[in-house]
Structure 1
Amino acid sequence: MGKKIAVTGADGFIGSHLTEALVRAGHEVRAMTLYNSFNSDGWLDNCAPDVAGQFETISGDVRDLSTCMQAIQGCDMVFHLAALIAIPYSYAAPRSYVETNVIGTLNVLEAARANGSRMLHTSTSEVYGTAQSVPIHESHPLEAQSPYAASKVGADQMALSFHRSFDMDLFVCRPFNTYGPRQSARAVIPTIISQAIANNGHIQLGALTPTRDFNFVKDTVAGMIACIERAPAGSTINLGSDYEISIGELATEICKLVGVEPNVQLDPARVRPSGSEVERLWADNSRARELLNWTPGYGGVEGLRRGLSETIEWFTNPENLKLYKTGRYNV
């Protein structure tokens, strides 16, 4: 039977894909989107035709407790995805990350607790910092290297404290670097793809040596849904492909798929402060495999190529590409 489910951050990249998947699975979805004067629901304005009009939207801000209470009231489950996520902007505006990611999470927790809802709290692999051992297990130490990562560590611990203090039915889902159609150009894969297409292979990037474990958005969404169905309360679960690739190698791979010769140049504006750069992320996904019966459909190098091809196909559509300012670096 379908459940009544609230999704915070439903207007964003992962949130919009998750909302579509939940509607298709027969759930009654209430999508919480960020209030703005443009009357925009973000990517939900461009959702798939079979999903359009099949979910409820509430416009607000997770920093406001009353809106969170309204959005979650009567819902069996809560997927909490709303967050500020751009790492470079967290250097410029760290307080806003605390207010949205920590205080906002507290408000969602209060609302979910009051309503008796089961809750998925979305974390990030950035909380681990540069890998001290690989692949990174959930028991790996937390080492925040940016204000963004610190705010997510705080949010994670706030969520887990509600489980320990109030026996709240929640868990922490920790996706590694998710990519796919609709992702912000502030992320590295859309940055590379959009520049490769628009600039014939001429690409400006930050550091090329750090490695990442990229998880296609379909796998992340499937993992999140498996989590809310099967994850034990109080647990933390990685979602990753168990495959790492350097940013430089990634740029070369994307250019091959686009069909252009790579010409990658270092842009100092895109380089993180030396102590803040996370040099290596590689997920141990064994817990997700064992507890959730979840396996990434886009794992390994071949899976990455398939996911990149699907993402490139979406960006190649001129109607999609025009939404991105390829000639401008936005933090």
Structure 2
Amino acid sequence: MVKRVLVTGGAGFIGSHYVRTLLTGGYPAWADVEVTVLDKLAYAGNLANLEPVAGGYAFVRGDICDSELLASVVPGHDVVVNFAAETHVDRSITGADVFALTNAVGAHRLAAACLAAGTRLVHVSTDEVYGSIDTGSWTEEAPLAPNSPYAAAKAGGDLLALSYARTHGLDVRVTRCGNNYGPYQYPEKVIPLFVTRLLERRPVPLYGDGLNVRDWIHVDDHCRGIQLVAERGVPGEVHHIAGGTELTNLELTERLLRALDAGPEMVRRVPDRKGHDRRYSLDDGKLRALGFRSRVPFDEGLAATVRWYVDHPAWWKPLCAEPPTA
């Protein structure tokens, strides 16, 4: 039976990876699939990310906050996988309105459209909704305590989506994941930002003491986790997807310097981000019980990612014409 899948935010970094994998047979259970991509093509949305599968999907340009558009697009799809989000913490600090609209209001309107159409919703979220944790790891039952406007808007969206499961019985499945890396990531996030700056022999900005800790996962592993939740996850529940590689920002910076044959003189210490969370860590035992394991070792994945940016300057150089906020 043909599976009809609507991927919102499907031209962004993670969404486009999911679409490319889905359309090239990477998820065998959904091998017979028809895909629609809905994306408003804001600054980080890029149809070039989908060039490898051009012609294999239907495209609708639009915003998940547009209820009328959703009412015309969602019906007829079996599943909606929602990647649509504003995601850069720094941008949320200087201008939070669009984060509140897309991440919270948009999630609500998309859930409402799925309810009306009788369509399953897989809502993709972040570990940042929990705030910061000094030791140990969060389970899915941990209280939400977001500290940035980005994280607060995502937490609101998660709760609104889950409310449709509890109030209306909609099949909603939420995933939360750590820091992603891989090809096609917009060069405002730390790995592509540092790689592209170093390739142009420009210094890289390191926040504060550099000891903030993040859990890293390759985008392919993240998307496999999302697909597992879409296929076998528990309706109405949250599922963690962890990479299992915790690094300080300083450790990550040192690895990138070595990969690009650059020295410590290329690092510029900058004032710490406002409200900067110290550490994130997810317990993903629930997903592991369903058979999930990360497949991409961090060192191999990072080396491949660096090579991708080295080999694809035509993709990232136009995006770096005006350096993004560090």
TM-score (norm 1): 0.91
The alpha-carbon deviation at position 41 of structure 1 amounts to 10
The alpha-carbon deviation at position 262 of structure 1 amounts to 3.2
Distance 1:56 1:206 in 2: 41
Paired letter, 2:317: K
Contact 2:111 / 2:164 at 8 angstroms: preserved in 1? yes
Distance 1:18 1:294 in 2: 16
Paired letter, 1:20: R
The alpha-carbon deviation at position 35 of structure 1 amounts to 5.4
The alpha-carbon deviation at position 323 of structure 1 amounts to 3.1
Alignment match, 2:165: 163
Contact 1:7 / 1:30 at 8 angstroms: preserved in 2? yes
Between the two proteins, the alignment pairs up a number of residues equal to 317
Distance 1:327 1:64 in 2: 30
The alpha-carbon deviation at position 221 of structure 1 amounts to 0.9
Alignment match, 1:289: 288
2:87 to 85, 88, 91: 85
The alpha-carbon deviation at position 57 of structure 1 amounts to 0.4
Paired letter, 1:296: S
After superposition, what is the alpha-carbon deviation per residue over 1:192-238, rounded to whole angstroms, capped at 9, x for unaligned? 211222116x3222231100001101101111111100001011111
After superposition, what is the alpha-carbon deviation per residue over 1:79-123, rounded to whole angstroms, capped at 9, x for unaligned? 011111111111222222111111111111011111111110111
Contact 1:179 / 1:189 at 8 angstroms: preserved in 2? yes
- SS class of match (2:46): helix
TM-score (norm 2): 0.92
Alignment match, 2:191: 189
Q: Does 1:24 align with 2:24?
A: yes
Alignment match, 1:10: 10
Q: Does 1:329 align with 2:317?
A: no
Distance 2:318 2:109 in 1: 32
Distance 1:2 1:218 in 2: 23
Q: Does 1:43 align with 2:23?
A: no
Contact 1:10 / 1:81 at 8 angstroms: preserved in 2? yes
After superposition, what is the alpha-carbon deviation per residue over 1:28-73, rounded to whole angstroms, capped at 9, x for unaligned? 000001057xxx9943334253x21010001111111011222211
The equivalences for 1:1-331 within 5 A come to 1-25=1-25, 26=31, 27-34=33-40, 42-49=45-52, 51-199=53-201, 202-207=203-208, 208-263=210-265, 264-268=267-271, 271-273=272-274, 276-291=275-290, 293-298=291-296, 303-317=297-311, 318-325=313-320, 328-330=323-325
Contact 1:203 / 1:262 at 8 angstroms: preserved in 2? no
The alpha-carbon deviation at position 245 of structure 1 amounts to 0.3
Pick which of 77-86 and 18-27 moved more.
18-27
Gapped regions of structure 2 (runs ≥ 5): 26-30
Distance 1:35 1:78 in 2: 18
Runs of 4+ in structure 1 off by over 4 angstroms are: none
Contact 1:127 / 1:152 at 8 angstroms: preserved in 2? yes
Closer, same or farther in 2 for the Cα pair 1:156/1:98, shift >3 Å?
A: same
Cα root mean square deviation, aligned: 1.9
Distance 2:124 2:250 in 1: 28
Paired letter, 1:203: V
Contact 1:219 / 1:297 at 8 angstroms: preserved in 2? yes
Paired letter, 1:121: H
Gapped regions of structure 1 (runs ≥ 5): none
Pick which of 93-102 and 220-229 moved more.
93-102
Paired letter, 1:258: L
Paired letter, 1:3: K
Distance 2:175 2:281 in 1: 16
